[in-house]
Copies of this chain bind each other. A is one copy, B any other.
């Protein structure tokens, strides 16, 4: 699905947020973990099954409230192929539940390697005479350090499948400026030049809301820079990490949006999926806790923007 579909889901939910499905076994409520370890042992298989069941429970609780989920590949790769199998099932379940699915993979490679990633994550893989869907996400995150050679193969698949991408511009981590904020070009910055490249790579792929298939990642933790990036990338849908635990506030993230609260989506991962750890209970309430945290986040952000 394209950014048109994402924008429509955001409008329908009146909620411009995405929940990061970044589960480690210790984030899974004890009763789920216990059941899986009893069934499969304390194994990678048991841990992967625990992540999957936890994800399903979260998505059941959130599907009428939140438009999108963003599984982070690292937490599945960490469990090897068992984890990747759980990730495939998670994506499938998310789509059944009506979520827009952003696979947070931050891949960046070139030529036939980039094509292989694009096939696996967004398109189809040719095997013999068949074209098979594999991870089949709606959208992926990318790292464009290698240049357009690393993003264009994904955009090619996006055009065939009506899907989309988010490439890193300015990230939310404390050390993001080490390279990204270096002075570059004529009084510019590395991230500013990356912003221009992404607008250029995406040009001509605008959907009905005016956004190209080449979205960008711009962190909530640097609100002045977020404001600049928003102005500099008028055709670019933004994915905004860094709200909550990392220090970004609703006041900060408002700058990511254009008129009518459009053109951006704000992520929270642990703030939602680990909300049960703050209720002082045993995790049996993890769905309610996630739902309450998602409502609080939505309401917090919507103090500063109105979605139409």
Interface of A toward B, CB cutoff 8 Å: 22, 24-25, 37, 42-44, 46-47, 72, 74-75, 77-85, 87-88, 106-114, 116-117, 119-121, 125-130, 132, 134-135, 143-150, 168, 171, 173-180, 182-185, 190, 193-194, 197
Chain B neighbourhood of A79, CB < 8 A: 120, 125, 127, 134
What are the 3 tightest A-B residue pairs by CB atom distance, in nearest-first order?
Answer: A42-B128, A147-B178, A147-B175
B190→A184 contact, CB < 8 A: yes
A113-B22, A179-B190, A193-B182 known; A146 and B171 CB under 8 Å?
Answer: yes
A125-B78, A182-B193, A183-B184 known; A173 and B143 CB under 8 Å?
Answer: no
**With the chains together, A125 CA to B26 CA distance in Å?**
12
**Number of identical protomers:** 2
A75-B116, A113-B75 known; A194 and B176 CB under 8 Å?
Answer: no
**With the chains together, A177 CA to B110 CA distance in Å?**
13
Chain B neighbourhood of A176, CB < 8 A: 146-147, 149
Chain B neighbourhood of A182, CB < 8 A: 184-185, 190, 193
Distance of A22 from chain B, by nearest CB (Å): 7
Distance of A155 from chain B, by nearest CB (Å): 13
A84-B81, A114-B74, A173-B110 known; A144 and B179 CB under 8 Å?
Answer: yes
Chain B neighbourhood of A132, CB < 8 A: 43-44
**With the chains together, A163 CA to B187 CA distance in Å?**
39
A127-B47, A180-B147 known; A74 and B113 CB under 8 Å?
Answer: yes
Q: Which of B77, B113, B145 contacts A168 (CB 8 A)?
A: B145
Chain B neighbourhood of A114, CB < 8 A: 74
11 interchain pairs, CB-CB under 8 A: A47-B127, A74-B116, A77-B84, A77-B135, A79-B120, A143-B145, A145-B180, A147-B177, A147-B178, A147-B179, A179-B197
**With the chains together, A25 CA to B126 CA distance in Å?**
8
Chain B neighbourhood of A143, CB < 8 A: 106, 108, 143, 145
Chain B neighbourhood of A179, CB < 8 A: 144-147, 190, 193-194, 197
**With the chains together, A77 CA to B77 CA distance in Å?**
11
Chain B residue at smallest Cβ distance from A89: B81
A128-B37, A135-B80 known; A110 and B171 CB under 8 Å?
Answer: yes
Q: Which of B80, B127, B144, B149 contacts A44 (CB 8 A)?
A: B127
Distance of A5 from chain B, by nearest CB (Å): 23
A116→B24 contact, CB < 8 A: yes
Distance of A86 from chain B, by nearest CB (Å): 8
Distance of A77 from chain B, by nearest CB (Å): 5
Chain B residue at smallest Cβ distance from A169: B145
